[in-house]
Amino acid sequence: MAESEGWDAVTTRRLSAEIEYSQPVIYKHFASLDDLYEAVALQSFTELSDALREARGVAGLDDVRAVAQAYLDFADEHPALYEAMFTRSTRLPFGDSETPAALTAAFAELRAGIASVAQGRDVDTLTEVFWAALHGLVSLQRGGRLRHGAEDGRLGLLVESLSL
């Protein structure tokens, strides 16, 4: 529903009609809509992890580029899920001790993708910058802020810069 009509179209009334229950039943499972977004975000993070893991190790492409491309593809194919992960879910922190496993797993995949080109640099920091650049590309492109047709050029430049 969110993928086809956007998250604003996902109301508790429409949801309840879809599951053929009354509206208040939703609040027996989620304290609020934000909690529902959070649940969707968590599931989506493991989906993203899987996609990134499969991207590594394929022949003819270095891991950094493959993981980056897989990240962008995931965001492109599941815009609503990506929005739930990064825009609508307000509280899913990373640094804390209570970081959900799905989030650390996704981070670990990114880290595994770029670790080989770290060259003595701090891998965690490098991964964060890598992640930020990818997320920025997704976010800006989604808003129409980047030139069309230059996607490969941007990705190539990014990978090349971080690989040195």
Partner DNA sequence: CTCAAACCATAGCATCGCTAGTTGTTATAG
Partner DNA sequence: CTATAACAACTAGCGATGCTATGGTTTGAG
Q: According to CB under 8 A, which one of 53, 56, 65, 154 is a site residue for a copy of itself?
A: 154
Q: According to CB under 7 A, which one of 3, 23, 57, 125 is a site residue for DNA?
A: 23
**Residue 14 near which of a copy of itself, DNA, none (CB within 5-8 Å, type-dependent):** DNA
48, 151, 68: which is closest to 117 by C-alpha? 68
Sequence letter at residue 7: W
- Using CB under 7 A as the binding rule, whether residue 32 contacts DNA is answered as yes
Q: Which of residues 27-86 bind a copy of itself (CB under 8 A)?
A: 86
**Residue 116 near which of DNA, a copy of itself, none (CB within 5-8 Å, type-dependent):** none
Question: Distances in Å between the alpha carbon of 64 and those of 112, 131, 151, 153, 159?
Answer: 9, 11, 16, 15, 7
CB of 142 to a copy of itself, least distance (A): 10
CB of 80 to a copy of itself, least distance (A): 14
The two tokens of residue 85 are: 């992960």
CB of 138 to a copy of itself, least distance (A): 8
Query: By the criterion CB under 7 A, which residues form the site for DNA?
Result: 10-14, 21-25, 27-28, 31-34
Give residues in contact with a copy of itself (CB under 8 A).
86-87, 90-96, 103, 121-122, 124-126, 128-129, 131-137, 139-140, 143-148, 150, 153-154, 157-158, 161-162, 164
